[in-house]
Amino acid sequence: MRKILFFSLLVCSILSLCDTSFAYENEPNGFRGMKWGTPLDSFPTLKHFETVKRYGGIEYYKKKEEVLKLGDVKLFLIKYGFWHNKFYEVEIWAQGEKDWRALKDLVFAKFGEGNKPDKDVEEYIWNGVITNLRFSYLDFMDVGMFTMTSVEIKKQMEEQVKQKAKEGTEDGF
């Protein structure tokens, strides 16, 4: 009985450490006052920019008269992603290595240094409870991209993909 109790406490302790190990400094719930999951029609100043077919369709928008700066960093694009008409992602783009480095410094100052999965690739990842962050430099395009994504909505998207795959196996086998 003691072994079962000890093992149960050990598992609970490990799981509680895992949950907090994903947190990072200043984890946001959205961007510029726009919270994850908010319906598209709550943002009348958005203008359709593009549609990406993955996950059944992600609609990207730009704000009319968007301030293309973050702190003192000059940006060239900010795209707001919606899935099933819910705000789920923002992409922030900087042109050129100078602006990318300035954006990198700003992001690191706000959220910490993040994880660098590959020492040879300029990419950093922060896994959060509410928001995942990804920051990368695409040298072939000479742009930096900082992406903030809702953890909850991303889970819903992946569940939809699994469900569709499961439905496909029922018909084809």
Segment 94-122 mean pLDDT: 94
- Which pLDDT score is estimated for 8? 39
Pair of tokens at residue 84? 């099933």
Note the pLDDT of residue 10: 37
Cα 49 from Cα 108, distance rounded (Å): 29
Domain of residue 69, residue span = 2-172
**pLDDT for the residue 173:** 57
Per the model's pLDDT, the better-predicted residue between 163 and 86 turns out to be: 86
Mean pLDDT of 84-102: 95
Give the DSSP H/E element, type plus range, for residue 85: none
Percent of the chain with pLDDT over 90: 70
Cβ 27 vs Cβ 131: under 8 Å:
yes
- Give the C-alpha separation, 105 to 102, whole Å: 5
What does 105-168 look like in DSSP terms, one character per residue?
HHHHHHH---B-S-TTS-EEEE--SSEEEEEEEETTTTEEEEEEEEHHHHHHHHHHHHHHHHHH
Q: CA–CA separation, 54 vs 60, rounded Å?
A: 12
Interval 116-173: pLDDT, tens: 999 999 999 999 999 999 999 998 999 999 999 999 999 999 999 888 887 766 666 5
Q: What is the pLDDT of residue 123?
A: 95
Q: Looking at residue 162, what is its pLDDT?
A: 87
pLDDT digits (tens, 9 = 90+) for 23-64: 788 999 999 999 999 999 999 999 999 999 989 899 999 998
Per-residue pLDDT at 16 exceeds 50: no
What does the pLDDT read at residue 169?
A: 66
Mean pLDDT of the chain: 86
**Residue with token string 């959220």:** 111
* pTM, full prediction: 0.82
Domain count across the chain: 1
Find out whether 110 and 103 touch, Cβ atoms under 8 Å.
Answer: no
Mean pLDDT over 96-107 rounds to 94
